[in-house]
Structure 1
Amino acid sequence: MSAENTLKTPILVLGATSLIGTFLMQRLQADGHEPMGLSRRPPGGDACWIDADLKADDLAEQLPGAATVFSLSPIWLLPVVLPLLKARGMKRLVAFSSTSRFTKQDSPEASERAVAKALADAEAAVEAFCAEHGVAWTILRPTLIYAEGRDGNVSRLAGLIRRFKVLPLSGSGDGLRQPVHADDLAAGAIAAASAPAAFDRSYALVGGETLPYREMARRVFEGLGRRPAILVLPPWLFGLLLTLARPFFPGATAAMGARMSQDLAFDSADAVRDFGWAPRDFRPRF
């Protein structure tokens, strides 16, 4: 997924210590750039770090000038800081949202519906601001993000497998998934930022394979060097177990079990066409 070195500099990365942000900073540096990373918890090192919070009252005093901005922070934090970024010279914006905008909009859980609405509202605000102020924007919506040992999706499954040796599924677990690696997303963001075809467009970014949830779980077992031990349960029994397991599975909801049999698949053909999106297959190694 190579892209010409056409990024406008300086480059600012918001949420630079997030899962994708860590890989993005590394890739930008490897490409010879000197990105500035904004984070509430800057790690130090040889990058230029800005210790700041997007919700801070004094953010205007801390923001550096930047022509290209990558936003890895929750997209609903972005609209209020866009005027400050524009005033500091922003001409190109690549912002991450999520396919949860669509998959959770009709969830039985009010909290999940609220997330979907927040994503949709923020995307609309970003698009409107950029169109009015001449900023070329791209919104990227990943599917199920993972990075071995570091994410809250696939790695959480791995943690449950380590603890309990067996993984229960609600129903047949045949709902389709497209896990996508955070490092591929970082590469995709750079490619999109460099591609005029991606200006003023939104994309779903899916992994290299579309798998039933059950097969995705089997691959996690394999990535741990374990023989798959998957327990298919009736939805009512899975719901009971989920309630008991919540201390080990923060954020678990009843809707999670129901989604195991729902297809959450998207198409990235336009990303392949416009900036060469080419993610890896799902073969995690822990």
Structure 2
Amino acid sequence: MRSIVLGATGVVGGYIVEQLLQAGQMPFALSRSPPAQDARNVCWFRGDLTDLSALALPDFSTIYCTAHAGSLAAGLPHLVGPSVQRLVLFTSSSVVTKLNSDVAYEREGLQRLAAGEAATIAFCEERGIAWTVLRPTIIYDEGRDANISRLARLIAKFGVLPLAGWGAGLRQPVHAQDLAVGALQAAASRAAWNNTYALPGGDTISYREMVGRIFDGLGKPRRIVPVPVALWRVAFFLLQRWLPNANASMGTRMSKDMTFDARPAREDFGWNPRGFRPRFDNL
């Protein structure tokens, strides 16, 4: 039986498609904007998880989802047929670290994500489908992600990066390709049935060191400027109209540890991610 990848044009979803091809599969892939053509053995479908009633999909046994868990929960009744046996869903470790954020839109978004997780699990258990939820930490893929690569672009442009305080909070960046490998390993593991796992990267480092390694990956000298937290908050208040996607809490969290235990994933399906040494050759 074949697999389907939901969110297949995303950073992690694209790597899952590649891993399935390398494993000898001919996967299905669903995306709102599929590529115009694909010379590989991939069967693409155009669709939105929240509106699948008119989409006729062939049989498949395994679902890999990197799309929003809330959208998946809405689409499952139209997506799941009698052949589906396995579901692997990516969400985020932020449902643990930021669920009670003092930023309203962050808090509300993560509450929706957590509700989507719960609804997906409930659906799978009702239908007898073995599920696994994977919660990555900071996802990166040099030049493509919205986290590490965004910092890299700022550094490349200005040659310097300010931090709120000393950036002592611990982080565990994880590469998107490693997540795809882990997804296939989890899908194949009986021990991973009906479990939720944190997927941290191979290194646990301070936020400041994480930024320093981004400088290294750009071939630039480390120019990191600590800014007092109080001044950081005032600056964001004054500049918020020009920084619509940023908030002061992003800075204050730089001093907060956001780390997770990789041991359950390592023991149950061999999770073994690379260390954080990004290289930005084509940024």
The alpha-carbon distance between structure 1 residues 179 and 87, as it changes in their structure 2 partners (threshold 3 A), is: same
Residue 213 (structure 2) pairs with residue 225 (structure 1): no
- Between 1:213-222 and 1:63-72, the stretch displaced more is 63-72
Q: What's the counterpart of residue 257 of structure 2?
A: 263
Closer/same/farther in 2, CA of residues 198 and 236 from structure 1, 3 Å limit: same
Q: Does 1:167 align with 2:143?
A: no
CA gap of 1:250–1:219, structure 2 versus 1, over 3 A, is farther
Tell whether 2:174 aligns with 1:180.
yes
Asked whether the equivalents of residues 35 and 48 of structure 1 are also in contact (C-alpha less than 8 Å), the reply is yes
Q: Tell me the distance in 1 between the aligned counterparts of 2:82 and 2:105.
A: 35
Do residues 63 (structure 1) and 40 (structure 2) align? Answer: no
Distance 1:254 1:280, change over 3 A: same
Match of 1:49 in 2: 44
Cα distance between partner residues in 2 of 1:90 and 1:192: 16
Deviation at 1:115, TM superposition (A): 1.9
Distance 1:191 1:53, change over 3 A: same
Q: Deviations over 1:198-243 (max 9, x none)?
A: 0000000000011100000000000000000000001132234446
What is aligned with 1:3?
none
Q: Quick one: which amino acid aligns to residue 23 of structure 1?
A: Y
Cα deviation, residue 64, structure 1:
3.0
1:168-192: CA deviation from partner (whole Å, max 9, x where unpaired): 0001100010000000000000000
Check the 8 A contact 1:168/1:230 in 2, yes or no.
yes
Range with bigger deviation, 112-121 or 9-18: 112-121
Distance 2:243 2:13 in 1: 24
Show CA shifts across 1:131-184 (max 9, x none): 111000000000000000000100000011011110000011000100000000
CA distance in 2, matches of 1:218, 1:180: 16
Kept after mapping to 2: 8 A contact 1:106/1:113: yes
Does the CA contact (< 8 Å) of 1:50 and 1:62 recur in 2? no
TM-score, structure 1 normalization: 0.92
> Which residue of structure 1 lines up, in the alignment, with residue 80 of structure 2?
86
Instruction: Give the aligned partner of residue 215 of structure 1.
Output: 209
The answer as to 2:19 corresponding to 1:27 is yes
Q: In 1, Cα distance between the equivalents of 2:277 and 2:135?
A: 21
Aligned identity (percent) is: 48
- Tell me how far apart the structure 2 counterparts of residues 96 and 264 of structure 1 sit (CA, whole Å): 18
* Secondary structure of 1:260 counterpart: helix
Q: Structure 1 CA distance, aligned partners of 2:244 and 2:55?
A: 36
Is 2:171 the counterpart of 1:157? Answer: no
1:144 maps to 2:148: no
> What letter corresponds to residue 119 of structure 1 in structure 2?
L
Give the letter aligned to residue 77 of structure 2: P
Contact between 1:145 and 1:151, CA under 8 Å: does it hold in 2?
yes
For 1:244 and 1:17, the matched residues in 2 are separated by 37
**Quick one: distance in 1 between partners of 2:134 and 2:276?**
20
Q: Which runs of no fewer than 5 residues in structure 2 stay unpaired?
A: none
Partners in 1 of 2:25 and 2:57 — Cα distance?
Answer: 19
Q: TM-score, normalised by structure 2?
A: 0.93
User: How many Å separate the matches in 2 of 1:249 and 1:19?
Assistant: 24
Task: Tell me how far apart the structure 2 counterparts of residues 157 and 221 of structure 1 sit (CA, whole Å).
Answer: 9
8 Å CA contact 1:60–1:84 kept in 2: the answer is no
Pairwise CA distance, 1:84: 2.0
Does residue 1:190 correspond to 2:184, yes or no?
Answer: yes
Does the CA contact (< 8 Å) of 1:53 and 1:59 recur in 2? Answer: no
Q: Deviations over 1:41-67 (max 9, x none)?
A: 1112122111111122x5442333211
Q: Tell me the matched-pair count.
A: 277
Partners of 2:131 and 2:194 within 8 A in 1: yes
